[in-house]
């Protein structure tokens, strides 16, 4: 795992992260919240930009705790013991400052439950200190407003394998887009990017898949910059939808169709049975995927070889073994 404060110059995605998740002792009590998947597993394949907004705005280590509080109809971030301590505006300003640095982040992992960094389900209290409702940590809320396309998650939700895969897929897809855009937008490049991501998008949303196909068909006629901005926005929006077993099975059947004329009947039946077993939850996704790769290695297909669906992110992350 590498941490950097500069724009990534490697082929690895650049991911923002709450510093405490990497084991940095920046919590209000002087401790950390090390997350092994974030630091040791995902960290093998991305470069991190650690942030602790509470430290960055001048709160010490250790420090008096803060919380979200509903004051006169507005959510503020104030001290638990000293309500005159109000850091709302400072956290807003820091979110804008991080955004203004212009780093090409491909994702962000926030610390759950934090009044500054929690992505959701952060307790909001009344002025009297009673739990009222839930919201988002102030820094995370402002940062996500400023970066609506960016894949964002928090450590607790990443324990759900479907959510983990969705996040990681989007991070690596956005990173590939950033590299494509950095090399210079062209109509042909947009068509190529879409071609390679067709089945990955389809595994999340058939509606999005069809809409994006129509958008790409305009690549030679529309304003390219505006089209590309709209395109990647729709890609990220489509990929937020969960890739269910039914949707994966649909894509697997599409891929199997490219082998239908060349496979022997016994092999075809084996693969069809695997897709059905996966759809019914009896085997993980990696099983039919590996069998498809095996047969396409023996009988190459140029279109299929381009598909990121078969290799959406580093396989050593082991996510599809548990889906």
Span 201-220, pLDDT tens digits: 999 999 999 999 999 999 98
Query: 141 and 210: one domain?
Result: no
Q: What is the pLDDT averaged over residues 95-116?
A: 96
Q: How far apart are CA 29 and CA 281, in angstroms?
A: 43
Is the domain of 68 the same as that of 32?
A: yes
Asked whether residue 171 is domain-assigned, the answer is no
Residues 16 and 142 in one domain: yes
Residue 138 belongs to some domain of the structure: yes
Asked if the structure places residue 168 within a domain, the reply is no
Of the pLDDT bands very low, low, confident and very high (cuts 50, 70, 90), residue 10 is low
Q: Which of 95, 126, 159 is the last residue of a domain?
A: 159
When pLDDT is averaged across residues 69-87 and rounded to a whole number, the result is 96
Q: Tell me what pLDDT residue 261 has.
A: 85
Q: Are residues 196 and 311 in the same domain?
A: yes
The model's pLDDT over 250-273, given as tens digits with 9 standing for 90+, comes to: 999 999 999 988 899 999 999 999
Tell how far CA 85 is from the center of its chain: 34
Report if residue 187 sits inside a domain: yes
Domain that holds residue 260: 183-323
- pLDDT exceeds 90 at position 9: no
User: Mean pLDDT score of the chain, rounded to an integer?
Assistant: 95
Same domain, residue pair 188 and 322: yes
Q: Taking the CB of residue 186, how many other CB atoms lie within 10 A of it? A: 13
The pLDDT confidence band at residue 247, using thresholds 50, 70 and 90, is: very high
Q: Is the pLDDT of residue 6 over 50?
A: no
Tell me: the pLDDT tens digits for 145-192? Answer: 999 999 999 999 999 999 999 999 999 999 999 999 999 999 999 999
Q: 202 and 111 in one domain?
A: no
205 and 295 housed in the same domain: yes
Q: 142 and 92 in contact (C-beta within 8 Å)?
A: yes
Counting residues of the chain whose pLDDT is more than 70, the rounded percentage is: 97
137 & 31 share domain: yes
The structure's pTM equals 0.94
């Amino acid at each position: 795992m590498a941490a950097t404060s500069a724009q990534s110059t490697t082929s690895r995605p650049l991911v923002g992260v709450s510093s405490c998740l990497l084991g940095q002792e920046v919590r209000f009590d002087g401790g950390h919240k090390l997350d092994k998947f974030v630091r040791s597993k995902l960290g093998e394949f991305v470069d991190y930009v650690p942030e602790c907004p509470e430290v960055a705005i001048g709160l010490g280590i250790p420090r008096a705790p803060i919380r979200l509080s509903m004051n006169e109809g507005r959510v503020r971030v104030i001290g638990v013991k000293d309500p005159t301590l109000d850091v709302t505006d400072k956290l807003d300003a820091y979110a804008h400052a991080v955004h203004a640095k212009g780093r090409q982040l491909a994702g962000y992992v926030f610390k759950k439950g934090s009044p500054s960094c929690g992505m959701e389900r952060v307790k909001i209290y009344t002025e009297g200190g009673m739990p009222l409702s839930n919201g988002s940590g102030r820094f995370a809320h402002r940062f996500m407003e400023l970066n609506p396309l960016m894949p964002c998650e928090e450590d607790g939700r990443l324990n759900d394998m479907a959510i983990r895969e969705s996040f990681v897929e989007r991070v690596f897809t956005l990173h590939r887009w950033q590299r494509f855009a950095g090399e210079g937008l062209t109509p042909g490049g947009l068509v190529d990017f879409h071609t390679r991501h067709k089945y990955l998008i389809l595994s999340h949303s058939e509606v999005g898949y069809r809409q994006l196909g129509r958008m790409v068909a305009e690549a030679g006629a529309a304003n390219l910059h505006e089209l590309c901005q709209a395109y990647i926005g729709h890609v990220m929006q489509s990929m937020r939808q969960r890739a269910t077993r039914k949707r994966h099975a649909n894509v697997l059947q599409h891929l199997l169709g490219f082998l239908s004329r060349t496979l022997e009947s016994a092999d075809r039946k084996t693969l069809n049975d695997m897709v059905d077993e996966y759809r019914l939850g009896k085997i993980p996704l990696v099983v039919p995927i590996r069998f498809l790769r095996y047969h396409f290695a023996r009988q190459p297909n140029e279109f299929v070889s381009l598909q990121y669906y078969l290799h959406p992110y580093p396989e050593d992350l082991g996510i599809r073994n548990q889906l």
